[in-house]
Amino acid sequence: MRKDLEPLPGAEAERHMRRLTRRSFVVGALAALTGVGAWGWLRSRATDDGLPWPLRRVLDFNRSLAEGYFSESRLAPTFPAEAVQEPARTNGLVGLAADNATANWKVVVEHPETAGQVVALETILALPRQEIINELKCVEGWSQVIQWSGVRFADFAAKFGPRRPTRYVYLATPDGSYYVGLDWASAVHPQTLLADLVNGAPLTWNHGAPLRLLLTVKYGYKSLKRVGLVRFTDRRPPCYWTERSYDWYAGL
Amino acid sequence: MNRLETKHPRAIRWMHWINFPVLVAMIWSGLLIYWANDVYAIRVGGTTLFHFFPDWFYRALNLEHGLAIGMAYHFTFMWFFAINGVLYVLYTFISGEWRQLLPNRRTPREAWQTILHDLRIRKEPLPPGKFNGAQRLAYTGVILMGAGSLLTGLSIYKPTQLAWLTSLLGGYEWARFEHFALTVGYVLFFVIHITQVIRAGWNNFRAMVTGYELVPVEEQRHA
């Protein structure tokens, strides 16, 4: 037992206790008021992409920590073929079109060293094939084991991207209505694919035919469907869901 | 006649009271997140006995359509929760308070006596000491739960970069369930804790605010 105060007997103890109680409850009330004030302050701050700006700052701080820890050698777990859960669930159809007009598909590639080149789908798919069975994680909280095949984004970037890596990559649907921004390290992670097959079959329109992105290091909303534009850039690109209050980094 | 005696150190009182609103913020933002995929229920056979949570619950607490804002609050207040928890554990070890808090070999027996005593089955007074056996188990248990929330939380926050941790906890979906179950555990802890604080009375509650309690002189033997 601490001895910072001698045990006081009798009436003196009662008196002293009353004084201590008064003091402690006043301090406690002030602390509680400070907390309520801080909460009110936080809730009333100007918003930055739908979030009070202090929360955005913390998400950016969390991102810098995560980027510091990130290593491309750390891979998402993969699963055996029996673990695949069919049918592959879809969520989010912004920027897609059910017209199946995917013949002669071309992807526009832009980077600081070129004005823009148009790459045919066949040229992209001629890169070395890569397959992965991973657990896709939706920001909503569900996950599903799905098989994807296509080509590595890192190979795509090496062949069609800039010689000097950019800080970011921006991808968008052909109509520009859905778009994602990625940090370079996540884009060239060995499990990041440009996929044309899901569970062994060609992508249907709602999975992003004819070519989609697939990341194991981000929530599903970063895995853009129906890739129409790839832009390598040093300016942090916008992201569809970030403008709707979600985290820009969304790193897993 | 009463004597004034120190009971709870200042650091423990501050960390205890700070944890309360922080945990409330974590549970509130956690519910905003959980709403987006509210898959857990208590089922027996094919019958759902209780769904976490019924629609009226979300509506009453305004928890619908708040996934993004919930994540932002959750990933902000997690820092306060984690730092406060780590400081508490460090403090209890450095100050020696852990001796009063960790279970020892007498704890199982004392905890059982406490339960019988609180249910008014056993009439004899409890053995003297700052915390009885049931309290030692509860207060140590809730710290372990806090550590569990940190670990399961990290494992579903970074399931690729911390894949080893996620697998250790049974995979992503299990870890999410464990994270949720621990939260249900806090709510149960809270209900029992508040009940016991009310039963213990004003002198006991005041000690958690002031640090001091009035002790009847004839019970001074153990002080």
The minimum CA-CA distance between A101 and chain B, rounded to whole Å, is: 33
pLDDT of residue A1: 44
Model confidence at B222: pLDDT above 70: no
The mean pLDDT of A163-169, rounded to a whole number, is 95
Tens digit of each residue's pLDDT (9 = 90 or more) over A47-62: 999 999 999 999 999 9
The answer, yes or no, to whether ipTM is higher than 0.90 is yes
- Counting one residue from chain A and one from chain B, the pairs whose CB atoms sit within 8 A come to 128
pLDDT band at A2 (very low <50, low <70, confident <90, very high): very low
- Name A203's Cβ contacts closer than 8 Å, sequence gap at least 6: A195, A196, A197, A209, A210, A211, A212, A225
Contacts of B167 in chain A (CB under 8 A): 77
The mean pLDDT of B159-165, rounded to a whole number, is 96
Question: How far apart, in Å, are the Cα atoms of A156 and each of A188, A189, A190, A237?
Answer: 9, 12, 12, 19
Contact B161 A140 (CB under 8 A): no
Chain A contact for B55 (CB, 8 A cutoff): no
The minimum CA-CA distance between B28 and chain A, rounded to whole Å, is: 14
Tens digit of each residue's pLDDT (9 = 90 or more) over A199-215: 999 999 999 989 999 99
pLDDT of residue B1: 75
Contact B76 A69 (CB under 8 A): no
Tens digit of each residue's pLDDT (9 = 90 or more) over A108-135: 999 988 878 999 999 999 999 999 999 9
C-alpha–C-alpha distance, residues A20 and A31, integer Å: 16
Model confidence at A4: pLDDT above 60: no
- DSSP-derived secondary structure for B42-103: EEETTEEEEES--HHHHHHTT-TT-HHHHHHHHHHHHHHHHHHHHHHHHHHHHHSTHHHHS-
pLDDT of residue B52: 95
Tens digit of each residue's pLDDT (9 = 90 or more) over B13-47: 999 999 999 999 999 999 999 999 999 999 998 89
Chain A contact for B36 (CB, 8 A cutoff): yes
Residue of B nearest to A38 (CA): B21
The pTM of the whole model exceeds 0.90: yes
pLDDT band at B217 (very low <50, low <70, confident <90, very high): confident
Model confidence at B93: pLDDT above 70: yes
